[in-house]
Structure 1
Amino acid sequence: MRLRELIDRTGVAERQIRYLISEGFIPGPSGGRAKADYGEEHVGGIRRYMRLRELGFPPAAIKLLLDAREGTPFPIVPGITLLVSPDMVASGAPVEPLIREIETLLTRILKEADHDHDRATDD
């Protein structure tokens, strides 16, 4: 898609798109300057950046979140930190299925820990 289409799809001004490219928040277009072509990775990158800005993250923090190769740690409670892939941060992915999976996993982990603790106190 051309720059005008990207602007129409995202609602972001050309100047802001050029800023996002120059700062590395989204990749440059393919096809060179004269035939610049943008794709879904640009749309997704712009939407992710704008969502993080809406959540109050400054550009420097967004850069850190998106550059984290192994994921971004979010402390949940003492002893539990959620590690989120940069591709998932502000991606718009449905949350409910993830919550169910996390709940199932935590229940299993904590029950196993309780079981091990009970065996240790019986000895």
Structure 2
Amino acid sequence: MTGLKLDDLVGATGATPRHIRYLIAEGFMPPPMGGRTYATYSAVHVTAIRRYERLRSLGFPPAAIRLLLDAREGIPVPIMPGLTLVIAPELIGSGGDVATIAAKGAMKIEELLSKEAPDERKHAAR
């Protein structure tokens, strides 16, 4: 997805041109390639808009989004008391293979929280 014009970016994301200009001005997404007259956008811009919108839908104000995106450790997302998921900012809104990622996360949580050792769980499953 390269060489998108502003209208294409609007169509792909649902963001208004004004909102896109805001995201660029505030540093939530990079400026377009080609300058102002021949501006083109890419998948990087689509992902940046989706990431911002996803974080806003989760209740984060713009100032908090800025802090989260600048965090080197990732974005902490509380799951339940005592369990916080930390996600790399570049993954938010990227459209990755969510089912595979969730399955791996569930397996890791089960492994860490289970009373049985991993070998004991394998034998019990047989």
Structure 1 distance, partners of 2:76, 2:55, is 15
Work out which of the residue numbers 19, 39, 42 in structure 1 matches 2:42: 39
Q: Which amino acid aligns with 2:57?
A: E
Displacement of 1:114 after TM fit?
A: 6.0
The answer (yes or no) to whether the contact 2:48–2:93 under 8 Å persists in 1 is: no
* Number of residues of Structure 1 aligned to a counterpart in Structure 2: 114
Identity %: 50
- Listed one character per residue, the Cα deviations across residues 68-87 of structure 1 (whole Å, up to 9, x for unaligned) are 22211223344432111101
Partner of 2:18: 15
TM-score by structure 2 length? Answer: 0.74
Structure showing greater radius of gyration is 1
* Structure 2 SS opposite 1:36: coil
The answer (yes or no) to whether the contact 2:5–2:41 under 8 Å persists in 1 is: yes
RMSD: 2.2
Structure 1 distance, partners of 2:113, 2:13, is 43
- Listed one character per residue, the Cα deviations across residues 26-56 of structure 1 (whole Å, up to 9, x for unaligned) are 1001112222111111111112212222232
Distance 1:103 1:9, change over 3 A: closer
Q: Which amino acid aligns with 1:87?
A: E
Structure 1 distance, partners of 2:111, 2:54, is 33
**Structure 1 segments unaligned to the other structure (5+ residues):** 116-123
**Structure 2 segments unaligned to the other structure (5+ residues):** 118-126
